[in-house]
Structure 1
Amino acid sequence: MSRFAPPDRSRAVALWLFGVAALVFAMVVVGGVTRLTGSGLSITEWKPLLGAIPPLSDADWRAAFDQYRQIPQYELVNAGMSLNEFKGIYWWEWAHRFLGRIIGVAFAVPFLVFLVIRRMPRRLIWRCVVLLGLGGLQGLIGWWMVASGLVDRVDVAPERLATHLGLALLIFMGLIWTGLEAWNGPEPSRSPQGWARGAALLLGAVFLQCLLGGLVAGAKAGFVYTDWPLMNGQVFPPVDWGQGAVAFLHDQGLVQFVHRVWAYALLLMGSLYALQAFRWRLAEGMGFWGYALAASLWLQAVLGVMTLIHAVPLSLGALHQAGAAAVLAIGTVNLWVVLRSQPRRFVSIRGGGL
């Protein structure tokens, strides 16, 4: 192969993609901290370039503070906040946005370099272009989310927060998947087998639970009904059905209830998946990642209960959000490994082949 011909695989490209995925993981965690500290509305303007420069003088800080004092969150939640207290929430939101800018540069610049030196596997170019476009879209959605809390609300709309989180996690999954493709090279396409369908269903269920978690965060539903397994002594909480279908997005009790029930369903699905993986002794890493996914689901569930009963302290809340991203990463790798494994390459624990 010519040294100028694009390779079929590239470990350097894979490491770059995994590195950007790690930055996105950090972004998700910092975003969770930003939400828990009530910092998300502290910057009331969207300046993609100039916004990277924080206030540098006392006059700049007072101007930023004056803008914040004009929105409902200050008037109804933080009235009387000092300038120093404002700086505390400002820096979290600034760090969140600045990390987003770093991710954009960390992706775009190496991508262009790999293209110029022809070290980017040709089959992965379009995927990286899509990921780059989704990254730009994420910035727009982030501002769309923030804008929902600047006029008639004291916080952002839950559905917009869930959308923002969901797109970040899609990018995270895409980076991991593309990195695995770059590391291992191309494989012949195969028709999805039963295990692939099960792994895909489980990954989709994990992603849905992450979106439901975003709704819980947006509705601040984790701060109510902090007993478990019941909700204020009841199986099903009171719901304001007068909101109509919007109750599924905004009603704190209903949003938390759905998040709990789907967690139970996930635990059942993950456990059955791991049990079947053990029963059939799946080959080529399929079993390992199935066990890892089930174990991570149980750990995340325990962490979720601990976060809830302690009324979402900052440390546990951030750890729970990080755990969600970790479970999603394991689920992504699990599906990739299943799709890469030869179909029907497993044996029964009873010794009979299939």
Structure 2
Amino acid sequence: MATKPRAIFEEVGTVQRPATVTGAIDRGRSDSRRWLRLWLIALFALVVVMILVGGLTRLTDSGLSITRWDLVTGTIPPMSASDWQAEFDLYRASPQYELMNKGMTMPEFQQIYWWEWGHRLLGRVIGLVFIGGFLGFLVARRLTAGWTQRLLMVGVLIGLQGVVGWWMVHSGLQDGMTSVASYRLATHLGLAFAILGLITWFALLLGRRDTELLTARRQTERRLFAGATGLMHLSFLQIILGALVAGIDAGRAYPTWPDMAGGFLPPEPLSIEPIWRNFFENPGLVQFIHRMTGYAVALLAVVVWLRARRSPHPATRTAFHWVLGAVAIQVVLGVWAVLSMAQLHVAITHQAGAILLWTLVVRGRFLARYPVATTIRGRA
């Protein structure tokens, strides 16, 4: 069949083309991504508060005030004088009371009890918010198989965190213990930051449509992404080391900087037998390793930032400006914590700085993986 000649002035572009096929989560309800993202942001905020309250619970030595793990009945605090006395009697049978707080009054006990109760209540709230939201989205059929698996991973980690929390507290109730085992505290905090990182990454994914993400992935800045991944891993290690420092109160051991008691190394860094225990239990050596790793994080952050400056994407460059700024603030807070012998307000600010830095590093890594496309005029 002969093709009809096209007129000279015939308009082009009038033929309808099929719409771009979107990802499965983009089909159907147009607000699915938005509601999922809002739910994850709410979980993010709760986990941040949980980490800060957990830090204050540790810094006030409140974590062993509740000696039982009652998942349901433990939600209700003591409501009468007899209830308070029963809780106090349980605490007075613990090693921490005998070795550190003997003679504590009821008001003093109530003060540390509320910190630990609040920390556990937050954990229950996070669990309920996750279960309620996940089941709601599942019943409403707003989840695809891929997102169901991703969110289930977050849920499993949240459940595991509750078990690790009790495993940590249980270690502090053993004979001769006045606080929880530092390596169990580090595991507990590390898992909290892993959950926070996953939630951040998934919320960032939901902030952009699947088609946009597929296009952006083709523009991945591989060397910058690799550098950001390395910085993320090193920052995570530094967070774990910070928990070890907090677990044995190593932050109060050598309140001088940049030296440690007048030298580069602390005195007797390998005084505990067997030698490997020094890396977990020697306050001087643990603080020294935390300091050196902090310097390494700062150095790597500068290297990654220099690479990010060459990125053609303004959003990526800006993201790593923020990362470098957060690293600088965290270094200053770390030095301040050392010089102040880890005073409560300084130590918790330092922990808040770690949350900020961790979130910004994850975001910078995301933008290196999925750059925001810009026009010649620099518009997204």
TM-score above 0.5, yes or no:
yes
2:180 is matched with: 156
One-letter code of the match for 2:369?
A: L
How much does 1:246 deviate? 1.8
How much does 1:8 deviate? 9.9
Hey, what's the Cα distance between the residues in 2 that align with 1:224 and 1:194? 40
2:203 is matched with: 179
The answer to whether residue 248 in structure 2 is matched with residue 219 in structure 1 is: yes
Task: Give TM-score, length-normalised by structure 2.
Answer: 0.86
1:275 is matched with: 306
Contact 1:5–1:118 (Cα < 8 Å) also in 2: no
The answer to whether residue 87 in structure 2 is matched with residue 64 in structure 1 is: yes
Hey, what's the Cα distance between the residues in 2 that align with 1:263 and 1:32? 19
How much does 1:325 deviate? 1.0
2:15 is matched with: none
1:131 is matched with: 154
Contact 2:327–2:357 (Cα < 8 Å) also in 1: yes
How much does 1:193 deviate? 1.3
Hey, what's the Cα distance between the residues in 2 that align with 1:83 and 1:283? 59
- Aligned pair partner of 1:200 in 218, 229, 239: 229
The answer to whether residue 340 in structure 2 is matched with residue 310 in structure 1 is: yes
Question: For structure 2, which runs of at least 5 residues remain unmatched after alignment?
Answer: 1-21, 375-380
Hey, what's the Cα distance between the residues in 2 that align with 1:10 and 1:242? 55
Instruction: Give the 3 Å change call, closer, same or farther, for CA 232–332 of structure 1 in structure 2.
Output: same
SS at match of 2:79: coil
Hey, what's the Cα distance between the residues in 2 that align with 1:55 and 1:4? 50
- Aligned pair partner of 1:142 in 165, 170, 175: 165
SS at match of 1:242: coil
1:54 is matched with: 77
Contact 2:315–2:372 (Cα < 8 Å) also in 1: no
Hey, what's the Cα distance between the residues in 2 that align with 1:133 and 1:33? 25
Instruction: Give the 3 Å change call, closer, same or farther, for CA 9–110 of structure 1 in structure 2.
Output: closer
Instruction: Give the 3 Å change call, closer, same or farther, for CA 342–12 of structure 1 in structure 2.
Output: closer
How much does 1:342 deviate? 8.2
- Residues 92-107 of structure 1: matches in 2 within 5 Å? 92-107=115-130
Hey, what's the Cα distance between the residues in 1 that align with 2:154 and 2:249? 30
2:138 is matched with: 115
The answer to whether residue 42 in structure 2 is matched with residue 19 in structure 1 is: yes
Identity within the alignment, %: 41
Deviation readout 1:255-313 (Å, 9 max, x if unpaired)? 100000000011111112212222x1441511111111111011011011111211111
Hey, what's the Cα distance between the residues in 1 that align with 2:80 and 2:39? 37
Hey, what's the Cα distance between the residues in 2 that align with 1:281 and 1:212? 32
Contact 2:221–2:368 (Cα < 8 Å) also in 1: no
Higher relative contact order (CA 8 A, sep 6+): 1
How much does 1:112 deviate? 1.1
How much does 1:9 deviate? 6.1
Contact 1:124–1:182 (Cα < 8 Å) also in 2: no
Hey, what's the Cα distance between the residues in 2 that align with 1:243 and 1:32? 30
Contact 1:7–1:121 (Cα < 8 Å) also in 2: no
The answer to whether residue 112 in structure 2 is matched with residue 81 in structure 1 is: no
Hey, what's the Cα distance between the residues in 2 that align with 1:121 and 1:6? 12
One-letter code of the match for 2:284?
A: G
SS at match of 2:260: coil
How much does 1:7 deviate? 6.4
Deviation readout 1:11-49 (Å, 9 max, x if unpaired)? 111111011111100100000000000000000000111
Deviation readout 1:191-250 (Å, 9 max, x if unpaired)? 771111111001111111100101101111011101111111111012224232121111
Deviation readout 1:149-200 (Å, 9 max, x if unpaired)? 1013111111000000000110011111111112213223557711111110
Task: Give TM-score, length-normalised by structure 1.
Answer: 0.92
Q: State how many pairs are aligned.
A: 345
How much does 1:341 deviate? 2.2
The answer to whether residue 286 in structure 2 is matched with residue 255 in structure 1 is: yes
Contact 2:235–2:358 (Cα < 8 Å) also in 1: yes
One-letter code of the match for 1:74?
A: Y
